[in-house]
Amino acid sequence: MSFKVLVLFPGRTTTRIGLFTEDSEITRNEIRHDKGELSRFKTITGQWGHRLRAIEESLAASDGQIRDVSADAVVVPACSSLKLPGGVYAVDSGFLEKTKKAAPHECPLDLGPALAEALAGARNAKAFAVASSISSDELEPFSVVTGLPELTFSGATDILNVQASLHRFSGETESPVSGLSVIVADLGENFLICSCREGRVVDLSDSNERGPFSLSKSGSVPAAQLVSMAYSGMWSIGDLTSSVNVRGGVESYIESGNLDEVMKRYEDGDVFAGIVAKNLAYQTAQEISAQAAVLHGKVDAVILTGICAENTLFVELVMERIRWIPGTKVVYPGEDDLRSMAGFAVSVLSGREEALICGRGFSS
C-alpha cells in the first residue's frame, strides 16, 4: 500500500505545504501571508482560522494533481518550546493541551498541531507532529555538565535532519534504529554533531554554544577571553551575542557565510581562506572523534549531512581525519525538512514505528 502524506510547516509570514507518497513528491507550495492581514491578530495562535482557510484555498486552487487532496496523514513539526524527546507524536487531546501551555512563547509552530488535527479530521486521516528538539532527559547525564554548577549545556535544539539521516540509514541498511550506534554531523548554517544510540541522541555539540564553529556561529570560544570582552565596555550584550551566534564562525573571518565561495577561494590560492576552511574541517573532525568516545568506539556509521556536505572538497578534508573511526562513512548532502517529516509519518503508517503519546513514558 502506498501512503499519501500532507506536510505543513508554519512560518512567521508563510506556510509551506508538501504532498508526498512514501516514494515520491507529488507537489509543494509556499503560501505567503499578507503581513497586514496577520497584524490584525493580537497573537500568532490567533491566526489559526486565517491560516486554515488559506491552506484549504491553496489546496483547492492547485493543479489537478492535488485538487481536493486526500491524505492518509497530516504531519507538522512540533514547536521546540515543548521540549519533547525526538520522535513522531500522535496529535491527540493531550498533545493539543501541551501545545496550548506553550503558546505564550508565540512560536509559529504552535499553530501546527491544531491545523493538522483540523485538516486530518476533514480527510479521515491521522494527525502527527514530529518533535525535532530534544530535552536534557534524553541526553546522557554526563553531556550537560559544564564545569560551573550555575551553567548546563542545553539539549533543546533542532535535530530534524539528524533524525531523518538516522532513519534513512536505518532503511537503507535494513537495520532497526534501536540497534544502531551512529554519529550524525548535520553541517548547515549551524553545525550539530550528535551521537545516537538505540534511537536516542545521547550527546551532542551545537555551534550555538559548544563544538566547532560553523558558517555563522562561533562554537566553543575561550571563556576567560569572552568574559573580558563582555566587560571591556566595547560591546553591548546584543552586539556580543550577535558576534557569537549570528555573525560568528566563517562569516566573521571572511565576511561570507557561503562555504562554496570560501572553498573556491581556497582552491584559487587564497591562503587565508584556506586556513579558515581547513580549521573548519579540523574542528568538525575533532568533534566527530569526541562523539566516537561517547559511543565507546562502537560506531556503526558516521553520517555527514546538511548543506556543507554538498561541497566535496570540504567533505574530503573532514573524511581524511575520521577514517580511523569504525563503521561506514555516509554522505547525505543537503536537507529537506518537508520530505523528512513525510518520511517519519510513513514510518508510523507502515507500522515500522509506533506513534508516541504525549505524557506516556516521559515527563510532560
**Domain co-membership, 147 together with 284:** yes
Both 222 and 284 in a single domain?
Answer: yes
Range of the domain at 67: 4-131+338-349
Q: Is residue 358 part of a domain?
A: no
Q: Where are the alpha helices (DSSP H) in the chain?
A: 35-38, 48-61, 93-102, 112-121, 160-173, 223-230, 237-245, 249-254, 259-267, 271-294, 312-322, 337-349
> Residue 361: what pLDDT?
44
Compute the average pLDDT of residues 110-138.
87
Whether residues 45 and 32 share a domain: the answer is yes
In total, how many domains does the chain have?
Answer: 2
Degrees (nearest 5) of the Cα angle 81, 196, 168?
90
Q: Is the pLDDT of residue 144 over 80?
A: yes
Same domain, 103 and 182: no
Pairing relation of β-strands 301-306 and 14-21? Answer: unpaired
Claim to verify: residue 89 and residue 154 sit in the same structural domain = no
What is this structure's pTM? 0.76
46-50-56 Cα angle (round to 5): 140
pLDDT of residue 363: 39
Q: Which of 6-15, 56-65, 323-332, 352-361 has the lowest mean pLDDT?
A: 56-65
Q: Note whether 328 and 344 are same-domain residues.
A: no
Whether residue 342 sits in one domain with residue 285: no
pLDDT tens profile 56-106: 888 887 554 445 578 999 999 987 677 777 789 999 988 988 887 765 556
Residue 277 lies in a domain: yes
Angle at 32 between CA 28 and CA 33, to 5 degrees: 135
CATH number for the domain including 291? 3.30.420.40
* Closest alpha carbon to 52 in 31, 68, 35, 21: 31
Q: Mean pLDDT across the stretch 330-342?
A: 89
329 and 210 housed in the same domain: yes
- Please give the Cα distance from 107 to 50 (Å, whole number): 16
- Percentage of the chain with pLDDT > 90? 51
